[in-house]
């Protein structure tokens, strides 16, 4: 999800939440499970949208170098040495 997609989604959530609070009387009430519903329908999406617009995006992920090779390799013992028991040789 890109920055623009997230902004569009949050903008739509704010609009739909405000529309629900204005048109549905039960959306202006309080719930025992969630608390005051206008906070969750309008306030939280609005706070997320405004913080997305105002705060700078972290650029750390773009600055870190990426590994190109294999992360770890397993050490393999020689097949002959692993299958034979330890025997002293003269």
The 10s digit of each residue's pLDDT in 40-75 is: 999 999 999 999 888 766 665 555 666 676 667 677
What is residue 11's predicted lDDT score, i.e. its pLDDT?
Answer: 93
Which residues span the domain enclosing 19?
A: 3-55
Torsions phi, psi for 36 (to 5 deg) = -70, 115
Mean pLDDT of 25-34: 88
Closest CA to 42 of 21, 60, 61: 21
For residues 10 and 63, give the distance between their C-alpha atoms in angstroms, rounded to a whole number.
Answer: 27
Has residue 18 been placed in a domain?
Answer: yes
**At 76, is the secondary structure helix, strand, or coil?**
coil
Mean pLDDT of 35-43: 92
| Number of structural domains in the chain | 1
Closest CA to 52 of 7, 18, 5: 7
Has residue 47 been placed in a domain?
Answer: yes
Has residue 79 been placed in a domain?
Answer: no
Has residue 73 been placed in a domain?
Answer: no
Has residue 23 been placed in a domain?
Answer: yes
Has residue 10 been placed in a domain?
Answer: yes
Mean pLDDT of 70-89: 65
């Amino acid at each position: 999800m890109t920055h623009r997609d997230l902004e569009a989604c949050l903008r739509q959530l704010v609009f739909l939440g405000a529309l629900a609070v204005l048109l549905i009387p039960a959306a202006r009430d309080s719930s025992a499970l969630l608390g005051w519903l206008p906070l969750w329908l309008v306030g939280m999406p609005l706070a997320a949208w405004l913080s997305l617009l105002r705060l700078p995006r972290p650029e750390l992920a773009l600055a870190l170098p990426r590994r190109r090779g294999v992360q770890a390799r397993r050490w393999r013992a020689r097949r002959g040495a692993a299958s034979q028991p330890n025997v002293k040789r003269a």
